[in-house]
Amino acid sequence: MAIIWEPTLDPQASAWRSIARQVAQDHVAPKAAEIDRNQRYPRETVELLYDCGIATMFLPQEYGGSGASLMAFCAVVEELAQACASTSGIVATLQLGAWPLLRAGSETQKETYIGAMARERKTISFALSEQEAGSDPSSMQTLALPENGGWRLRGTKRWIGGSGECAYYLVFAQTALGQGRRGIAAYIVDADAEGVSNAAPEDKMGMRGTVNSSVHFDTWVAAEAMIAGPGRALKLALEALNVGRVVVAAQANGIALAAFSAAAQRATARTAFGQVLIDHQGIGFQLADVATRLSAGRMLAYETARNFDTGKDVALIGAQAKLFCSEAAHDAVDIGVQVFGAEGFVKPSLVERLYRDQRATEIYEGTSEIQRLVLARAIHAEFNEEGA
């Protein structure tokens, strides 16, 4: 019996995980240290992810995808994250960019953009955050003003994943300053359009094989580019993040699994004071805690994905999964470095890279504090109702 709980996957999810495992072993893991060191977006890996179907597995079959479940997608992300967190981040970014269109796009919009993503490898990046609007996107300053029957988009988005590599941006913009969430609409914008430019990629602490930068918009889009109108778009962004959070939970679990496995191997091989490290209670107990939280985190993430696949609302359980798994991964990589001692502190070292990569899982798609905020509000609402 394995120490970490294993999910029972349906045949479809199991087949996807096998594909991911093979790609991870043959291609992704051997490149992980290099793309981290050189902060290089691995375009050849993205091509490979398209070739094997992973890049489009979550898109419906009618648009050229495979219609895979969230459970299958989480299994793939977890598997890739064990080999290279950045590569799992690239895959997660593809899904996040496409999701709002799948949810709210018209048939024509889906045929055009989702079809292009599946058949022409034209990816979509999710552009919500701004310098002054991260945790609180309703305060965004990017404007969408009516012009010549369409819209003029003006403003700068920050930290945008896949920027400079994607074909389209899914841009959230304010149509009426002062209206907060009620004024926010969403548009699909061609990355090559006049007036769209991106800054140099951010020099990140971790996830260095992914690309993030500011994207500046002073561009005109036709009326048909609107994906969701004022009053609907911010809700759509939050719905996309509700799903994205389950994916980040799976990614955090993958990172934690890699750290745990490395630390457990080290602790059973290296001796100090005449016995292997695992037999020193101070180390053995820490690894026991990591294993326990990893089992719990995997149960939470997979069960949340299964709930989503059966049509349930996962906003709250998804927030709990993201919060729990990212913080459990925090402890797993921290203990991983500790078990390796000085070797875990210097490059190149797997646990050193995992330590840096993990940190992003507590920040993007809603920080830990924002997950707690969502949950605290839900507790307030539920118990207030019961008391009333």
Ligand X SMILES: Cc1cc2nc3c(=O)[nH]c(=O)nc-3n(C[C@H](O)[C@H](O)[C@H](O)COP(=O)(O)OP(=O)(O)OC[C@H]3O[C@@H](n4cnc5c(N)ncnc54)[C@H](O)[C@@H]3O)c2cc1C
Question: For binding to ligand X (CB under 6 A), which residues are involved?
Answer: 93, 126-129, 134-135, 159-161, 207, 212, 360, 363-364, 367, 369-370, 373
d(CA 202, CA 378): 35
**Residue pointed to by tokens 């993040």:** 241
Query: Phi/psi class of residue 147: alpha, beta or left (left: φ > 0; alpha: ψ in -120 to 50)?
Result: beta
CB of residue 333 to ligand X, shortest distance in Å: 16
CB of residue 288 to ligand X, shortest distance in Å: 30
Amino acid at 346: V
Overall size of the chain counted in residues: 388
Q: Is 3 helix (H, G, I), strand (E, B) or coil?
A: coil
Q: At what angle do helices 29-37 and 85-104 cross, to 10 degrees?
A: 90
- Which is closer to ligand X, CB of 157 or CB of 298? 157
* DSSP code string of 328-371: HHHHHHHHHHHHHGGGGTSSS-HHHHHHHHHGGGGTTTS-HHHH
Among 50, 99, 105, CA closest to 244: 99
CB of residue 112 to ligand X, shortest distance in Å: 22
CB of residue 272 to ligand X, shortest distance in Å: 37
Residue number of the CB atom closest to ligand X: 134
- Which is closer to ligand X, CB of 140 or CB of 278? 140
Selecting among 107, 120, 365, 369, the annotated active-site residue is 365
CB of residue 353 to ligand X, shortest distance in Å: 15
- Which is closer to ligand X, CB of 77 or CB of 283? 77
- Which is closer to ligand X, CB of 7 or CB of 209? 209
Q: At what angle do helices 350-358 and 85-104 cross, to 10 degrees?
A: 30
User: Catalytic annotation on 365?
Assistant: yes
- Which is closer to ligand X, CB of 203 or CB of 385? 203
Give the residue numbers marked as catalytic.
Answer: 365
